[in-house]
C-alpha cells in the first residue's frame, strides 16, 4: 500500500504543478488584454478562450494519470487508461473499469485531485468575471440613491 500511496501523492504533485503552470499561461494574456470594457462580445471571447484553455489543461492532467496507469499496466490498454482516468478525475465514475486491487487507492486520490483542480479552475473563472464586472457593479451601486 505504501508504494501506491507514494505514487498517488507524486501524481497529485505533478498535477498541481501542471495546473499552476497552466493557470499562469492562461492569466498572462488576460492581464495584457486588460479588459476595461464589459461589452458582450469582447467579454464572451475572453471567457470562451479561458474555458477552452481550462479544458485542455484538465485533459493534460488526465493524461498524466492515464499514462501512469498504462505504464504500470493497471488497465488493458492506453485507451482504457485515458477513459478510466477521465471518468475518475471528473468524478463521473461509471464503474465499468476498475483498477487492480493493489492500485485502487489511486482512483480515489485522482478523484479528489480532480475535484481540487476543477475548483481552482472555477475560482479563476470567477476571479476573471469579477475583475471585468466589479467596476461596473461598483459604479452602479455608487449611483443608486440612498434608501
The dihedral region occupied by 43, where left means phi > 0, alpha psi between -120 and 50, and beta the remainder, is alpha
Number of domains in the chain: 1
Residue 147 placed within a domain: no
Q: Which of 131, 65, 64 is nearest to 103 (CA)?
A: 65
Residue 73 placed within a domain: yes
Average pLDDT over residues 28-48: 76
Residue 109 placed within a domain: yes
Q: pLDDT tens digits for 54-70?
A: 999 999 999 999 999 99
Residue 8 placed within a domain: yes
What confidence score (pLDDT) does residue 66 get?
Answer: 98
0.95 exceeded by the pTM? no
Residue 57 placed within a domain: yes
* Beta-carbon contacts of residue 102 (< 8 Å; ≥ 6 apart): 1, 4
Higher pLDDT, 46 or 119: 119
pLDDT band at residue 107 using 50, 70 and 90 as cut-offs: very high
Asked which of 28-32, 137-141, 143-147 is least confident by mean pLDDT, the reply is 143-147
Answer whether residue 137 shows pLDDT above 80. Answer: no
Backbone φ and ψ for 131, nearest 5 degrees, come out as -65, -30
The dihedral region occupied by 100, where left means phi > 0, alpha psi between -120 and 50, and beta the remainder, is beta
CATH of the domain at 136: 1.10.287
CA distances for 30 relative to 48, 108, 141, angstroms? 12, 34, 26
Full domain range(s) for residue 99: 2-142
Residue 126 placed within a domain: yes
Amino acid at each position: 500500500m505504501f508504494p501506491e500511496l507514494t505514487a498517488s501523492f507524486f501524481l497529485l504533485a505533478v498535477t498541481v504543478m501542471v495546473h499552476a503552470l497552466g493557470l499562469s499561461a492562461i492569466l498572462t494574456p488576460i492581464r495584457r488584454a486588460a479588459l476595461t470594457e464589459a461589452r458582450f462580445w469582447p467579454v464572451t471571447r475572453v471567457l470562451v478562450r479561458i474555458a477552452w484553455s481550462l479544458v485542455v489543461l484538465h485533459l493534460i492532467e488526465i493524461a498524466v494519470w492515464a499514462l501512469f496507469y498504462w505504464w504500470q499496466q493497471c488497465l488493458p490498454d492506453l485507451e482504457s487508461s485515458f477513459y478510466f482516468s477521465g471518468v475518475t478525475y471528473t468524478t463521473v465514475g461509471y464503474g465499468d473499469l476498475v483498477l487492480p486491487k493493489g492500485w485502487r487507492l489511486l482512483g480515489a486520490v485522482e478523484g479528489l485531485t480532480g475535484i481540487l483542480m476543477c475548483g481552482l479552475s472555477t475560482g479563476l473563472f470567477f476571479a476573471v468575471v469579477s475583475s471585468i464586472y466589479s467596476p461596473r457593479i461598483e459604479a452602479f451601486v455608487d449611483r443608486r440613491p440612498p434608501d
